[in-house]
Amino acid sequence: MKRLSGLLIGALFAMLTIAAWGFANRPSPEPAWPSRIQGFAFQPYQKDQDAQRGDLPTLEQIDSDLKLLAGKTQAVRTYSTTGTPAQIPAMAAKHGIAVTVGAWLNRDHAANDREVEGAIRLAKLNKNVTRVLVGNETLLRGDFAFEDLVAQLDRVRKEVKQPVSTAEMPAAPCIQPSLRPLT
């Protein structure tokens, strides 16, 4: 009898422990996904397309992606101003989407000139371009010296009315002391 009561007490204690853990670890509901997201980083590349190989999305693919985003976001941010991605601002305007134009810079000076000229052209031609980003982690990758990046930023600032900046890691020690406000 003692053994049976010991087993019952042990079983009761185990059930209470499991119940307490179950109560403490109840799933909580996930907050609702917002009906509208302020902006997306937008690279319209499809499965098996690769910008490094020059395999660009078609205009139809870009428009299809923008159509999916229409009504769900206010803005997109791009990463290139050449090839079919150069059409994103005009196509986004049809869907009521603002664009932050990004000019991809690297060690290829000729390609950088095309990107920067493209950013200037897109900012001037498209009313839905709200800002311009020149370079994306170029200092972090070691593609540019700080002074060279500043020269590219100043070049774009002289040509466009939109705010111009870069996308660099905020902790990059080479840019911390000399950050300048947007003009």
Indicate whether 122 pLDDT > 90. Answer: yes
Segment (H or E) for 139:
helix 138-141
Could you read off the pLDDT of 148-165 as tens digits, one per residue? 999 999 999 999 999 999
Q: Band the pLDDT of 37: cuts 50, 70, 90.
A: confident
pTM for the complete prediction? Answer: 0.74
Residue 175 has pLDDT above 80, yes or no: no
Span 91-96, mean pLDDT? 97
Q: What secondary structure does DSSP assign to 54-86, as a single string?
A: T-PPPHHHHHHHHHHHBTTEEEEE-S-SSSGGG
Kindly state the average pLDDT of the residues 6-29.
Answer: 85
Mean pLDDT (the chain) is 88
Name the residue ranges covered by the structural domains of the chain: 37-45+56-167
- Tell me which of 3.20.20.70, 3.40.190.290, 3.50.50.60, 3.30.43.10 is the CATH number of domain 37-45+56-167: 3.20.20.70
What six digits make up the tokens of 118?
A: 């493209």
- Percent of the chain residues past pLDDT 90, beyond the cut: 61
**Using a CB cutoff of 8 Å and minimum separation of 24, what contacts does 170-174 make?**
172/139, 172/140, 174/139, 174/146
